[in-house]
Amino acid sequence: MKQKAIEKKIFTNDYLIKEKLNRILQKLANRRKNIVKVKYKGRGFAYALPKWVNPNGSLDKQYEK
Protein backbone atom coordinates (compact mmCIF):
# COMPACT_ATOMS: atom_id res chain seq x y z
CA MET A 1 0.00 0.00 0.00
CA LYS A 2 2.76 2.39 0.96
CA GLN A 3 4.65 1.74 -2.27
CA LYS A 4 1.55 2.35 -4.40
CA ALA A 5 0.86 5.63 -2.63
CA ILE A 6 4.41 6.78 -3.23
CA GLU A 7 4.35 5.68 -6.89
CA LYS A 8 1.14 7.62 -7.50
CA LYS A 9 2.69 10.58 -5.65
CA ILE A 10 -0.17 10.69 -3.15
CA PHE A 11 2.29 10.65 -0.25
CA THR A 12 5.99 11.14 -0.61
CA ASN A 13 7.32 9.90 2.72
CA ASP A 14 6.52 7.92 5.87
CA TYR A 15 5.70 11.01 7.91
CA LEU A 16 2.87 12.05 5.59
CA ILE A 17 1.47 8.52 5.54
CA LYS A 18 1.44 8.32 9.36
CA GLU A 19 -0.15 11.76 9.57
CA LYS A 20 -2.96 10.75 7.20
CA LEU A 21 -3.58 7.47 9.05
CA ASN A 22 -3.85 9.33 12.36
CA ARG A 23 -6.41 11.73 10.90
CA ILE A 24 -8.45 8.83 9.51
CA LEU A 25 -8.44 7.00 12.87
CA GLN A 26 -9.47 10.15 14.74
CA LYS A 27 -12.30 10.79 12.30
CA LEU A 28 -13.58 7.21 12.58
CA ALA A 29 -13.44 7.34 16.38
CA ASN A 30 -14.62 10.86 17.15
CA ARG A 31 -17.06 11.81 14.41
CA ARG A 32 -18.41 8.61 12.94
CA LYS A 33 -18.16 6.37 16.02
CA ASN A 34 -17.21 3.40 13.79
CA ILE A 35 -14.33 2.58 16.14
CA VAL A 36 -13.73 3.39 19.79
CA LYS A 37 -10.64 4.34 21.74
CA VAL A 38 -9.65 2.02 24.56
CA LYS A 39 -6.95 2.60 27.13
CA TYR A 40 -3.75 0.83 26.22
CA LYS A 41 -0.88 0.28 28.60
CA GLY A 42 2.07 2.05 27.20
CA ARG A 43 1.50 4.85 24.76
CA GLY A 44 -1.93 6.40 24.52
CA PHE A 45 -4.90 4.52 23.15
CA ALA A 46 -5.72 1.54 20.98
CA TYR A 47 -8.69 1.39 18.65
CA ALA A 48 -11.35 -1.32 18.64
CA LEU A 49 -14.71 -2.06 17.10
CA PRO A 50 -17.63 -1.01 19.31
CA LYS A 51 -18.87 -4.61 19.63
CA TRP A 52 -15.52 -5.58 21.21
CA VAL A 53 -15.97 -3.17 24.14
CA ASN A 54 -17.87 -3.76 27.39
CA PRO A 55 -20.45 -1.20 28.59
CA ASN A 56 -17.87 0.03 31.12
CA GLY A 57 -15.51 0.97 28.27
CA SER A 58 -12.93 -1.78 28.63
CA LEU A 59 -11.97 -4.28 25.96
CA ASP A 60 -13.42 -7.81 26.20
CA LYS A 61 -10.86 -10.36 27.35
CA GLN A 62 -11.03 -12.36 24.12
CA TYR A 63 -9.86 -9.32 22.11
CA GLU A 64 -7.00 -8.33 24.37
CA LYS A 65 -3.50 -8.97 23.14
Q: Which of 60, 42, 43 is nearest to 51 (CA)?
A: 60
The per-residue pLDDT for 14 is 80
Cα(58)–Cα(65) distance, rounded to whole angstroms?
Answer: 13
pLDDT at 2 over 80: no
pLDDT tens per residue across span 12-49: 778 888 888 899 999 999 999 999 999 888 878 889 99
Handedness of CA 8, 2, 22, 27 (dihedral sign): positive
The per-residue pLDDT for 23 is 93
The per-residue pLDDT for 35 is 96
The per-residue pLDDT for 50 is 94
Cα(45)–Cα(10) distance, rounded to whole angstroms?
Answer: 27
